[in-house]
Structure formats: structure tokens, C-alpha cells
Chain A
Amino acid sequence: MTSGDRKRTWIGLAFVSPWLVGFAAFTLYPVCASVYFSFCDYDVLSPPVWIGLLNYQDMVSDSVFWKSVWNTLFFNLMALPLGLVSALVLALMLNQPVRMRGVFRAVYYLPSLVPAVASAMVWLWILNGRLGLLNQALMAVGIAHPPQWLGDPAWAKPSLALVSLWGCGNTVVIYLAALQGVPRSLLEAAMIDGASAWRRLIHVTLPAISPVIYFNLLIGIIGGLQVFTTAFVMGGAERSTLFYAIYIYQNAFEYRHMGYASAMAWILCLMILALTWLASRLSRSLVHYQGD
């Protein structure tokens, strides 16, 4: 390496140094520190005390930990397929050559721009069992005793799954981009062969956009397991919406069990890795890349 190369390297590093410093200070160090804290009794103020695997052992016997795992998985089993299918259906409709298509696309994307806390506050009132718009509408169509939604532990998670649809605009945009890329030649060939719209969708469009569906599935799993804001703001009786990330937050910042919270965060990381791997294995034969 000549002195000129070295100089250019240093200049290059200097230019990216804000990111490097930020990454090291705000991501790399906390991640590494959390590994250490997960083996410690640590309340943030006092120095951490090494306790080995005790935090991990405690999780096994902590019934609230298991409740949060169940809540998170159950919510995702509802919200993830619902979100993927709804976004796909919306994208297919918004891909049709209808009048004011651009306006419709903007309208369906807009909710995802609303801050999560603001929309959660609005949904709190919409889902209010006594005064909410939704129940007023249900009563108007003859349902005398509609659900209490968040007030009823049995309905709290489905309520949040319903609310999660509100922000599916991002996924719709990704699907729309993918739908633009479906080869017209394949669709025309199928039409010439007499395939109906449904068959074209099943046998041409979906296989063509399967990498994008897979991408949305992975992003959905990763995001879904970390679901926090809406549930934190909206709440739910009897720990019915105590999701994993909320329990981490409670332990870390409300109860000051930072060591336990760090251990929980690492288990979450492993869970995300395992589910991502599982999704990859199961969908291997269903995802088709161009050129395969």
C-alpha cells in the first residue's frame, strides 16, 4: 500500500467515522455488555454481580415469562398470516387499472405514516367497549352485546391483531413493487392457454412474487416477536397483552432487573434466529427465484 493509498484509506475512515463511532457506542457496546449482564445480578445503579446461569434458570420457573412467550406467539399466529394475506389482497386490488388508482394507493399507505402511539390512542377509543365506534356500529346492525375488546382478556389479542392491519401499508407497497415485476409474457401465455384470473394468480403471479412474500414473512416474524408500542399503549387485562418485549422492558426499566432483562433479550434473539431458520426450511420449495 502506497502512502497515497494509506492517506485515502484514512480519509475514507474519517468520513465513515461518525457511523463507526455511533455503531460502536450505541449498538456494539450495548450488545456485548448485555451478554455479560445476562449472567449478572444487575440493577443499573449497583455494580453487576456475577451469578452464572441463574437468570436463565429463573426464566424456566417464571410463569409470567412463559405467559409472555405464549402471548407473543399466539398474537403472531393471528397477526402475521392476517397481515400478509390482507396486504397481498390490497396490493392485488391496487394493481388493477382502476380510476384514481394513485389516490387509493396513497390512502392505504397513509396510516403507516401515523406514529404508532398516536394511532394506538385513536384505536383505544374506537375499541372502547362502551363508547367505541366499532361497538356502536355493531349494535346498530343488531349485535346487542358486542365484545369488550381490550377489556376482555379473551378478545385483547385479537383486538391488537386487528389494529396491526392498520399499518400494513408498507407491506402493500412492497407487494405492489413485486407485482409490477411479474413477467407480462408469462401472464399473456397463461391467458392464451385459457387460464382463468384465479389460476393466473395461483400459478403465475404468486410463484413470481414468492421471494417477496418470503421476505415479508421474515420481516413479519422478526418484527412480530418484538411487538411493543401498540400493546404497551393499549394494554389488556390479566396480562393478556403482555408481550415478550414488554416484559423485557418491565424487568429492565420498571423493576430494574437489568440482568434478567438482558438474558430475556438474548433468548428472544435465539427465538428469532430459530423461527427464521424454520421459515427458511419450510418455504424452500415454495419460493421461486427468477433463473431457478
Chain B
Amino acid sequence: MPAFSPRRLALAALLAASLAGCAPGPETAGRVVVNYWEKWSGFEADSMQSVIDDFNRSQSRVEVRFLSVSQVDMKLLLATSSGHPPDVAGLWSENIPDFSEKGALTPLDGGLAKAGIGAGRYTPLFWELCRHRGFTWGLPTTPGCVALFYNKKLFRAAGLDPERPPKTFAELESMSRRLTLVELERAGHLVRIPFTDMTPEERDGRRYTLVQVGHLPQDAGMFLSGWGCWFGAQYYDGDRRILADDAGNLAAFSWLRDTALTYGVDNLRGFIEGFGVSQSAQTPFLGGTEAMVVQGPWMINFIAKYAPGLEWGVAACPAMDGVGGGEPVTLAQCDVVVIPRGARHPREAFEFICYLQRQDVAEKLARSQQKFTALREVSDGFLKDHPNPAIGLFIRLSRSAGARYVPRLSIWHEYDTELAVARERVQDLKETPAAALAEAQKRMQWRLDRVMRRWDAMGNDRMREWRSYDKW
């Protein structure tokens, strides 16, 4: 038997150390460890951690470990393709069509049936956002929808009633003009005046600087592509046809173009250039240079953090006449938790995501993030103790017949990018709305055709695989 030389021993130690990194995670004190990746950071991560701590204390079989992960969608796909995904992941509802069609998620229907969880428990729209091609792929954590936040102080300064936000689209536009301030030279002096006080020559000459705007459709963050919803756009026929250039979207793009024509491309560009990092003190609404903005309930957190003195109000964002059948229009989305394909502990992961659906748990999470829940039932205490005074409005909006969501398409991310490029060309007056949207339509239809060709080839196999999943 060869003697163990120090050299061999060192080599063995090195090998063992390098392999240790590849070992599966530890299972603490007999508990199954469920790894949970979530997109949230900061106070949102803290609030979920608190819920996880409750769950870990509530039983002795499963321990959930939370990890805040940036670009969680991309990293989840790569981890899933390598065969080492987390057990639970927090995604956006827009990810579900793409991830499920690519086989990255576990269908939950069998488990949900056993657990007695179904559509009846949820606000219909949010339940729908968790489903794709007849299967349920995730469960909601915190949903959201948007409304029009406005600055009461700026309303007062412009001679508007701070308790009366715009109710129609025409009012939104006229109030927006009244709330817009410009700086220009008059008789050799730099003066700051309302946009509506300019002479026609001054307006046409466009030799002014925008210092405050009433409402700028270009400032809608991740909801920019959704403006079509307020104009009745459909985006997609639900089957094989992209509807980028439908009448509603055309109207929304024409509105963006009109804004550019009103203020001038360079003036608008200059103002937009001043926008800082989103959700920071440099955001124009929080900085007091924009009087109205479309945002979700989470905005309250940022107001409290960056503009605690802001006197704000919030109301449904008006839509074009006839859109939404007279009901308030909003754009909704939902944060969801999913179980990736290949998760090591799907049953324990499922136990955890079911725990998140308990009314007391969902309400605790929602309250600490200033949001609401996707559940149909709302406890009395939830509304009474909620730190967000506008939460009732957001709940009503999410249940409105006018509530919309972005199309349930696996190529939505690409579609969104294409619409963004079309929007930039329209607001720079490089193309007409019709031409820009025709190009987006052509590109996205071509892409959808490719996706459908692949789905036609492998869709049946996928569906069979999903139907037969029975690890519950």
C-alpha cells in the first residue's frame, strides 16, 4: 500500500475543496431547504423575509432561504437550462407565457386541485395572469395596477381645484397644458410663465425651455407600451395575429406625436434628458417638475422616501371616450411565484407558495409593501390598517371591467422593445404613427410566425408532458 505523501495529501485536499462548491446545499437539522430567488431588494425584500421567517417558524419540516437576485428572469432561465434552478422563483406575470412555453416552469394544476386552491379565490384578472395555454404556472404574491398620481400644490398654483383631478381625456390634456411652465426671453429678460400664457408666435417659435410639465405620456416607466389600453388597443388577437397597428394603438401613438408637436422635439428631449434614475429623488414627479404621472401603489413608498412633503392625490387615469365601457381603465400586472422545472423540492416549494396564499399572510406582505392582494376577499382590518390611503382605489381599479393587461405572448419582451423603437421614431417626428406601427407589426408578425411554427411542431408533446406531471 503506497504511503500517503504530503504532496498527495495536499492534492487530495485541493480536489476536495474544489468539489465542495459543486455539492448540493445542506439540509439543516433534518429540514428540507427550499431555495427561493426573488427580484425584490430593499424594503420589498425585507417584507418578504419577514413572511419567510414566519413560515420557517410555523413548521419544522421545511426551511425557505431567500435570495435577492437582480435580472432574476434571465438568471432563472440559465439556471434552469443548466439543471440547477432554485425551488421557487419570483417573476413578473409577463414572464409566464414565455417561460412556460419554453418548458422552464412546473405546471401547478395537480397540486392546486389537491390543495383546493382555484380561480374562485382570486380577483379574476390576476388568476388569469398566472395561467397560459390552459395551465396554471404560478401563484400571485403582490399584484399591481396603475392610476394617475397628481401634485395638489402644483394644481393650486395653476388655479386648479386640487381635489378635482381630470375625469376625461380632454380634461387631462387641458389641465396638463395649464400645469406646464416654460422659461423664455421676453424683452431681454428671462421669464417663467405658464405654457398657456405664451403668444402663438412664442409657441410656434419654440425658443423656450420646459421647466415643469402637467403630464407627459413619455414618463410612464415600464407601462409606456401600455398606453394603447386607454385608447382601446388590443395588441394581439390571442391566436396567431399581432395587432400592433390597430386603431387603438394608432390613436395612442398619435397622442405621443401631438405632444411632440405641441412642445417641440428638442424641448421635449431636453426635458426628458433631465429625468434621473427611476424611483429616485430625480424622478420629475417626485422632484416637483411634473404635476401628474401614471404609477402603481408602490409609488407611495417612493414619495415617503424621496419627497415626504409632497401633497399628492390619486385617481383613475382617464381613457378616451367609450373605452372600457364607461368603467375606469387601468393596466394591471402581478408579481408571481413559480416552481422552475427541475426544482429539487417541488412539493416543499409548493407548500411554501400555498402558504403565501393564506389571507393573513398575503395581507401582511401586501401591507408592508403598500400594495394589495390578488385575493377576492379583503379583510376589514386590511383596509383599516393599511398605510397606503389610496389602496381602496387600486383594489377597485383592479376589479374594474376596464382593467387590462399586456398581451399574453411569449414574445412580449421583444414586442415591447419594438413598440419602444416605434415610439421613439414617432416622438422624434421621424415617422408617422401609421408607418412606425406598420414596421413594428411586420417584424412582430414575422417573429410570432416563427414561434408558432415551433409550437406547432412541439406543442402537443409539451401539453402531454404538462398534463402528465404528477409529483404532487
Question: How many Å from the CB of A42 to the closest CB on chain B?
Answer: 10
A277 to B414, CA, bound (A): 36
Assess A45 versus B411: contact at CB under 8 Å? Given A151-B273, A239-B421: no
Assess the B77–A45 pair: CB atoms within 8 A.
Answer: yes
Kindly state whether residue B241 has any CB partner on chain A within 8 Å. no
* Interface size range on B against A: 20 to 34
Interface of B is mostly: helix
Q: Which residue of A lies closest to B453 (CB)?
A: A41
Q: Which chain A residues in 148-183 approach chain B with CB under 8 Å?
A: 148, 151-153
Could you mark each residue 176-218 of chain A with 1 if its beta carbon is under 8 Å from any beta carbon of chain B, else 0?
0000000000000000000000000000000000000000000
Assess the A46–B274 pair: CB atoms within 8 A.
Answer: no
A86 contacts across to B, CB distance below 8 A? none
A136 to B269, CA, bound (A): 16
Assess the A46–B458 pair: CB atoms within 8 A.
Answer: yes
A148 to B428, CA, bound (A): 13
Assess the A130–B274 pair: CB atoms within 8 A.
Answer: yes
A239 to B417, CA, bound (A): 10
- Choice from A129, A250, A256 contacting B102 with Cβ under 8 Å: A256
A255 to B78, CA, bound (A): 13
Kindly state whether residue A35 has any CB partner on chain B within 8 Å. no
B430 contacts across to A, CB distance below 8 A? 238
Kindly state whether residue B119 has any CB partner on chain A within 8 Å. no
Assess the B270–A148 pair: CB atoms within 8 A.
Answer: yes
Assess the A49–B457 pair: CB atoms within 8 A.
Answer: yes
Question: How many Å from the CB of A126 to the closest CB on chain B?
Answer: 12
Assess the A45–B421 pair: CB atoms within 8 A.
Answer: no
Assess the B457–A131 pair: CB atoms within 8 A.
Answer: no
Assess the B270–A130 pair: CB atoms within 8 A.
Answer: yes
Could you mark each residue 239-262 of chain A with 1 if its beta carbon is under 8 Å from any beta carbon of chain B, else 0?
100000000001001111000000
Assess A45 versus B80: contact at CB under 8 Å? Given A238-B425, A239-B421: yes
Q: Which chain A residues in 93-134 approach chain B with CB under 8 Å?
A: 128-131
Could you mark each residue 51-77 of chain A with 1 if its beta carbon is under 8 Å from any beta carbon of chain B, else 0?
000000000000110000000000000
Assess A130 versus B271: contact at CB under 8 Å? Given A49-B454, A145-B266, A255-B414: yes
- Choice from B78, B413, B443 contacting A254 with Cβ under 8 Å: B413
B274 contacts across to A, CB distance below 8 A? 128, 130-131
Kindly state whether residue A237 has any CB partner on chain B within 8 Å. yes
A237 to B422, CA, bound (A): 10
Q: Which residue of B lies closest to A236 (CB)?
A: B424
A239 contacts across to B, CB distance below 8 A? 421
Question: How many Å from the CB of B218 to the closest CB on chain A?
Answer: 11
A250 to B416, CA, bound (A): 13
B111 contacts across to A, CB distance below 8 A? none
A43 to B458, CA, bound (A): 13
A41 to B77, CA, bound (A): 17
Question: How many Å from the CB of B256 to the closest CB on chain A?
Answer: 13
Question: How many Å from the CB of A130 to the closest CB on chain B?
Answer: 4
Q: Which chain B residues in 280-321 approach chain A with CB under 8 Å?
A: none
B103 contacts across to A, CB distance below 8 A? 45-46
A45 to B76, CA, bound (A): 11
B157 contacts across to A, CB distance below 8 A? none
Could you mark each residue 413-448 of chain B with 1 if its beta carbon is under 8 Å from any beta carbon of chain A, else 0?
110010001001100101000000001000100000
Assess the B273–A129 pair: CB atoms within 8 A.
Answer: yes
Question: How many Å from the CB of B289 to the closest CB on chain A?
Answer: 11
* Interface size range on A against B: 20 to 34
A131 to B102, CA, bound (A): 44
- Choice from B74, B102, B414, B443 contacting A45 with Cβ under 8 Å: B102
Kindly state whether residue B338 has any CB partner on chain A within 8 Å. no
Kindly state whether residue B104 has any CB partner on chain A within 8 Å. yes
Assess A43 versus B102: contact at CB under 8 Å? Given A238-B421, A256-B77: yes
Tell me which of A129, A131, A237 has the highest count of chain B C-beta atoms within 10 A of its own C-beta: A237
B414 contacts across to A, CB distance below 8 A? 254-255
- Choice from B273, B439, B443 contacting A148 with Cβ under 8 Å: B273
Assess A254 versus B74: contact at CB under 8 Å? Given A148-B270, A238-B430: yes
Assess the B266–A148 pair: CB atoms within 8 A.
Answer: yes
Kindly state whether residue B174 has any CB partner on chain A within 8 Å. no
Question: How many Å from the CB of A116 to the closest CB on chain B?
Answer: 18
Assess the B269–A45 pair: CB atoms within 8 A.
Answer: no
A64 contacts across to B, CB distance below 8 A? 443
Assess the B424–A238 pair: CB atoms within 8 A.
Answer: yes
A255 to B273, CA, bound (A): 28
A148 to B265, CA, bound (A): 11
- Choice from B80, B413, B428 contacting A153 with Cβ under 8 Å: B428
Assess the B104–A129 pair: CB atoms within 8 A.
Answer: no
Assess the B74–A253 pair: CB atoms within 8 A.
Answer: yes
A152 contacts across to B, CB distance below 8 A? 269
Tell me which of B411, B450, B457 has the highest count of chain A C-beta atoms within 10 A of its own C-beta: B450
Kindly state whether residue A44 has any CB partner on chain B within 8 Å. yes
A12 to B128, CA, bound (A): 62
Q: Which residue of A lies closest to B454 (CB)?
A: A41
Assess the B424–A255 pair: CB atoms within 8 A.
Answer: no
Kindly state whether residue B196 has any CB partner on chain A within 8 Å. no
Q: Which residue of B lies closest to A242 (CB)?
A: B421
Kindly state whether residue B272 has any CB partner on chain A within 8 Å. yes
Q: Which residue of B lies closest to A149 (CB)?
A: B273
Assess the B269–A44 pair: CB atoms within 8 A.
Answer: no
A63 to B454, CA, bound (A): 22
Q: Which residue of A lies closest to B341 (CB)?
A: A45
A49 to B457, CA, bound (A): 10
Question: How many Å from the CB of B37 to the closest CB on chain A?
Answer: 17
A254 contacts across to B, CB distance below 8 A? 74, 413-414
B428 contacts across to A, CB distance below 8 A? 153, 237-238
A250 to B428, CA, bound (A): 24
A131 to B209, CA, bound (A): 13
Assess A129 versus B270: contact at CB under 8 Å? Given A45-B102, A237-B424, A256-B102: yes
Known: A43-B102, A152-B269. 11 other contacts (CB 8 A): A44-B78, A45-B103, A46-B102, A130-B270, A130-B271, A131-B273, A148-B270, A151-B272, A237-B424, A238-B428, A255-B413
Top 5 A-B residue pairs of the complex, sorted by shortest distance between their CB atoms: A129-B273, A130-B274, A130-B273, A45-B102, A238-B424
5 contacts between A and B (CB under 8 A): A45-B81, A153-B428, A237-B424, A238-B430, A255-B411
